[in-house]
Structure formats: C-alpha cells, structure tokens
Amino acid sequence: MSFFKRLKEKITQQTDSVTEKFRDGLTKTRTAFSGKMNDLFARYRKIDEDFFEELEDILISADVGVNTVMELIDELKMEVRRRNIQDPREVQDVISEKLVEIYEKGEENLAALNIQQEGLTVLLFVGVNGVGKTTTIGKIANQFKQQGKKVVMAAGDTFRAGAIEQLEVWGERVDVDVVKQAAGSDPAAVMFDAIQAAKARGADILLCDTAGRLQNKVNLMKELEKVKRVIEREVPNAPHEVLLVLDATTGQNALSQAKTFSEATNVSGIVLTKLDGTAKGGIVIAIRNELGLPVKFIGLGEKVDDLQTFNTEQYIYGLFANQVDDESMAEEE
C-alpha cells in the first residue's frame, strides 16, 4: 500500500473539521508546491540528476531549508535505487513519507504540552513584535478554558504601546483574568504578581506574555532571562514550556529568530502563526530538522479556533492533498 493511501486512511479517522482547517490553511503552499511538482513530473520520463536538481529547487523555494533539502534529496536517491523506482511520479509518495520521517525522527506526541497534573502550569511566550504573540496567547487561553481549566494571563510586555490593552481585550473576549501593571513597569515584577495571583485564585494555567523588542537584542535577552529566573524561583521546574512564536511569512528569517531566542530562554516548542498566508509552508520541516524544535501550534486563519495543535499527518496531507486525492480516485476507478 502506498504512503499516500495509508495517509488518506489515517486522515479519514481524524476530525473532519481539523482536516479541512489544515487543507484550507495550507492552500497557498500546496498550490505553489503542487503546481511546480506536477510540471516537473510531466516533463521528465526518467529519474536522473537533472530531475533531482529541479526537485531540489522546488523544495528550497517552499522554504524546507537548504540543509534539510540536501539531506532529503540524498535519502530520496537511495530510496529510488533501493525500490528500483523508474516513474518520476512515484517519487511524490516517497517525498511525503521521508518528510514525515525527518519531522518525527521516531518520536511521538511532539505537539503535547508539558501540563502539570497538580499545581500551576506556567507557559512562557517569547518572540519579536508583530508575529502574533499576544493573539496566540488569547487563542490558547480560550482552548484551555474550553477544556475546563482555570486560566490567568500575565501582561509581561510592558514596553510595546498597546500590548497590555491588547491582552486585556483578549481576556474579556475569552473570559480570562489578566494580571498587569502600568506601561513601562518591570516585566519580572509583573510575572511575580501574576504567579502570586494565579496561586491565590487556584489557577491551573498561567500564560505569560513578554516583550518582543527593547533598545537592542542584548537588553531583550537579558530581560527575558530575568523573567525566567523569577518564574523558576516562584514555581519549581517552571516555566513548563517556553513557546517561541514565529511568523511563517518571514520564512528563513524565522529560523534565525529561533536560534537567538533559544540561546536566552531554552525554547521548548514553536508556535508558527500566519501559515495560511504564505506559500512557504515548508518552514515547518526546516525548523524541526535544523533546530530540533517541535512545532506545537500552527495558525491557519484569523478566527479564535484557527490556531491548531500541530499534527504531522494532517500537515503532510495539507501539502499533498491534491496528489493524495488523485491517487485515491485512480485506485477507485
């Protein structure tokens, strides 16, 4: 049974609404990706070096990442020889299979959050301004609220004009308390107050917003380190997750941001926003392979429920849906 067919079977066992969100959210990437792939397969009758070079360019243009693409192409060449594949179209199936392997690396439940069964769970959100950090926190607060959790949000971005008010609007929208101080206050002091308030209110989850820009990068990283130290001191083993929010539309720039923030805060996972707004959705694979960080959530639209827990099969289906469906129809005929 082909990988596409197995993938289709797994997807049909999952929630239809989730499948639609992934499929719709990855339309731009899939349209650009599938168009180029179909053109490649239509022009080649055999698999040779020229074929692999063009395939390499297509994958790089989807922001899969140069290092990852080189690794993938090497594996594809080995697999083509091993399986004695002659028809270029059969390579599509192998690509999707290898992308799953590269992403998962034999691990399971990569998107699962480290939620404490007892006591307070602290999730710290970091990232530059403009990536959708505050909006992400509001949407995740709503998800926890729907699960019956008691949630508190900390307005730790005291430097950006309007950041505190923006989080307050989300607090009202999803009915979650927001702990704040005046604009320009010490973010570490806000975190201290928020932890005390969360404990006093018997909260399950504390979601912490942070600054995305200070006078320079060094100051920002020192501020984040200070915030993290306060959290560690007040809640043992916290923060339980440090989630870096990245804008998918920035492509490879997101990778350099991830490297910088990882050095300061021990990032444990990625939230990739605006994935529906880019044709370079391959950045998910690049982040995982080159930084070793799993993507925990992806943004597939503007609505409050459009922030989805990342699912590898749903993601690969979203990229290759046209090919998967075409193969299924061909087999039915």
Q: Where are the alpha helices (DSSP H) in 44-110?
A: 49-61, 66-83, 91-104
158 is in an annotated binding site: no
324 is in an annotated binding site: no
130 is in an annotated binding site: yes
16 is in an annotated binding site: no
212 is in an annotated binding site: yes
273 is in an annotated binding site: yes
151 is in an annotated binding site: no
Cis amide bond preceding 239, omega within 30: yes
| Contact criterion met (CB below 8 Å) for 209 and 156 | yes
Nearest Cα to 124, choosing from 232, 222, 1? 232
276 is in an annotated binding site: yes
211 is in an annotated binding site: yes
Distance CA 180, CA 178 (A): 6
209 is in an annotated binding site: yes
132 is in an annotated binding site: yes
269 is in an annotated binding site: no
Q: What letter does residue 275 receive in the DSSP assignment?
A: G
128 is in an annotated binding site: yes
For every residue of 123-165, DSSP letters joined together read: EEEE--TTSSHHHHHHHHHHHHHHTT--EEEE----SSTTHHH
Distance CA 254, CA 52 (A): 27
User: Binding site for GTP: residue ranges?
Assistant: 127-134, 209-213, 273-276
User: Binding site: residue ranges?
Assistant: 127-134, 209-213, 273-276
